[in-house]
Amino acid sequence: HARLDAGLTQARAMGARVVLVIAGKSRPVEHADRGDRRGAIRAKLLDWLAVGPHGSSIAAIRKAHRSHGGDGALYLILKRSR
């Protein structure tokens, strides 16, 4: 959580409009809490973003282009700073 929040704080301070988040590819398992198993960050990322301090600064979330990680990454489109 801390790294994600710190990265978004830095991106907003720089005036960035798009942030690439590498979360890893999700594994085909049940949607229950994954605990320590692989894919846990990817499974919880959208929840973290929604309830985190930067949730209101995110305009959209999109799947990354294949050259930027495809299914293992997301673009966070940030709202313009005022």
Which among 43, 48, 51 has a CA at the least distance from the CA of 23? 43
Contact between 73 and 23 under an 8 Å Cβ cutoff? The reply is yes
pLDDT surpasses 90 at 30: no
pLDDT surpasses 80 at 27: no
Q: What is the pLDDT of residue 65?
A: 94
66-to-5, 26, 35, 74 alpha-carbon distances in Å: 25, 15, 28, 11
The 10 Å Cβ neighbour count of residue 78 is 19
Does this model's pTM top 0.85?
Answer: no
Mean pLDDT of the chain: 85
Q: List, as one string, the DSSP characters of 6-52.
A: HHHHHHHHTT-SEEEEE--PPPSS-SS--TTSTTHHHHHHHHHHHHS
